[in-house]
Homo-oligomer: A and B are copies of this chain.
């Protein structure tokens, strides 16, 4: 048994692992290890901004925005975009972009419509009715990063589920450092049914939405990605408002049976790695020659990439080509990693589904590149990262709704339940509970 497989058959900078290596478990653990810790300095600065916005409202938001985004506004209405501006941005897009954005929005809407749960009730023999009522949030807040990481697709993926859920008011914040506005982002906001847009960002935007100011309405839940300040602020206001997951770096696990074009797989790995240096792209196969071929494709195609240096850094730090002994081991690796994105580049991927216990999104077959799902297949691209697919789910309509339990006891039902509740309440020494139940027992 050799621990030298990383040097076998390739000069690529991407790690080569084999499940036969004695060190495989440790090496995989090391590769997967990622902890997004806010240091104490970041935490302190964020706490200060949160407290300031809570206390001084709009004035604090304006000051922080001028400072961090290098602006010189005096009033909040300078940090607000009107619906007409969003509409104008959409109408002025080049036709190809406008059509692509509209097609994507429509497909995302159709998929999320299928998620809408319905309220239900059922009646028991004695007339007691039980059920649950589903309602939408009153107000959702969507954080959209500014500058180079401003993604119109993320606007669609966050706002459309909220809209489909029936949220009454969708507020969006997007910083505009140096006053630079991303027209594609505004166009997406128009398409997705966003009601209000404020050009603010950072912890000050999170605080404004969590606490409310004279101008920015308090929201019930904040979703959307952001930098470390935004993530730290979201964690701090959790409880005051709802939040979605705190996202880690994006990752993909591709399983190939050896029959997919190596160039396609190399590009699929690149498409993940190009996000940033912390992104993770892993390929698993039981075909060693195929892994060699993909490795060669990586070497050949890397220099042709616009983001070559980011991809190279990401692949060398966190990427891997893993040789396993067959389908069973591949499935074990899938469930151990619980990947954000899983590409099953195999024949008959349907036969794998029942064994995949943990994955954010599953891209099935050789034609289903992750990039198709990132933009326009329909399902959400906001997915659980860093193994959190073990216990959490893609963003969806569910995240913008909540349930209320319904209990309506008939006189007979209350009497029968009162007998049971009385015994259990007295067992817990909660005698006011018991007496409240006993009042409902028929004499």
Partner-B contacts on A (CB < 8 A): 36, 96-97, 99-101, 103-104, 111, 114-115, 117, 120, 122, 128-130, 132-133, 135, 137-138, 148, 151-153, 184, 220-221, 239, 241-242, 245-246, 261, 263-264, 267-268, 270-271, 273-275, 305-307, 311, 349-350, 353, 356-365, 367-380, 383-384, 388-394, 396, 398, 402-411, 413-414, 417-421, 423-425, 427-437, 439-440
Contacts and interface: CB of A to CB of B under 8 A. Distances in A.
A373 to B, nearest CB: 5
Contacts of A414: 367-369, 372
B220 A391 contact: yes
A404 B372 contact: no
A369 B437 contact: yes
Closest 4 CB pairs of A and B: A367-B414, A242-B391, A379-B405, A364-B408
B135 A358 contact: yes
A6 B394 CA distance: 50
B372 A405 contact: no
Contact of A365 (B97, B369, B408): B408
B379 A440 contact: no
Given A130-B379, A242-B392, A405 B220 contact: no
A236 to B, nearest CB: 11
Nearest to A372: B417
Given A264-B439, A353-B406, A305 B431 contact: yes
A133 to B, nearest CB: 6
Contacts of A356: 133, 404
B96 A362 contact: no
Contacts of A408: 349-350, 363-365, 368
7 contacts: A97-B427, A130-B378, A132-B379, A271-B435, A370-B436, A374-B421, A384-B402
A184 to B, nearest CB: 6
A335 B397 CA distance: 21
Contacts of A380: 405
A270 B432 CA distance: 6
Given A104-B420, A135-B357, A135-B358, A373 B436 contact: no
Most interface-central of A153, A270, A376 (chain B CB within 10 A):
A376
Contacts of A270: 432, 435-436
A103 B406 contact: no
B264 A369 contact: no
Contacts of A353: 133, 406
B402 A389 contact: yes
B439 A404 contact: no
Given A274-B433, A372-B440, A375-B420, 7 more contacts: A153-B428, A220-B390, A270-B436, A271-B436, A273-B432, A307-B430, A364-B406
A8 B409 CA distance: 35
Given A261-B439, A405-B373, A436-B264, A424 B104 contact: yes
Given A362-B406, A407-B364, A137 B371 contact: no
Contact of A403 (B122, B390, B394): B394
Contacts of A437: 369, 371-372, 375
Nearest to A305: B432
Nearest to A442: B367
A409 B379 contact: no
Contacts of A275: 430
A353 B306 CA distance: 56
Given A115-B132, A364-B408, A429 B306 contact: yes
Contacts of A184: 427-428
Given A97-B427, A370-B436, A394 B405 contact: yes
